[in-house]
Amino acid sequence: MERRSGKRLELTATLKLKRVQDDTEKEIMINVTDLSCTGMGFHSAQKLDVKGYYDTNMAIWTKEVIPCVVQVVRETQEADGTYHYGAMFIGMSEINKQKIHTYQMIDEIQKKGA
């Protein structure tokens, strides 16, 4: 069942996550698989805490970097031993949400013209 309220966009990106609750500077590499105004899906070789909060700096298609906090809400272990997560954005500014929404509209127009 689809739980995400925003339309998903394909996005290939590698980001670093840092757990908000940790004082350590341990970073976790992830591969983003899809993005919407409300959250993102990603793969990680490391197990993360469901309901955990993580800081990241997300480089979007314009190469602009958006700092944000995500909360992991779903986890699925893949057959190869990696994990797929669903996360929602916490406290993302309306301006940054609009940037993602604008790209969604451009992406839809381009797909219709193809």
pLDDT-above-90 percentage for the chain: 35
Residues 17-57 have pLDDT tens digits of: 888 877 666 788 898 888 888 999 999 999 999 999 999 88
Closest of 36, 11, 32 to residue 104, by C-alpha? 36
Helices (H) and strands (E) in the chain, counts: 1, 6
85 or 66, greater pLDDT: 85
Stated pTM of the model? 0.78
* Contact partners, residue 33, CB within 8 Å, separation at least 6: 10, 11, 40, 41, 42, 43, 84
pLDDT per residue over 66-77, tens digit each?
888 999 999 999
Closest CA to 15 of 74, 71, 55: 55
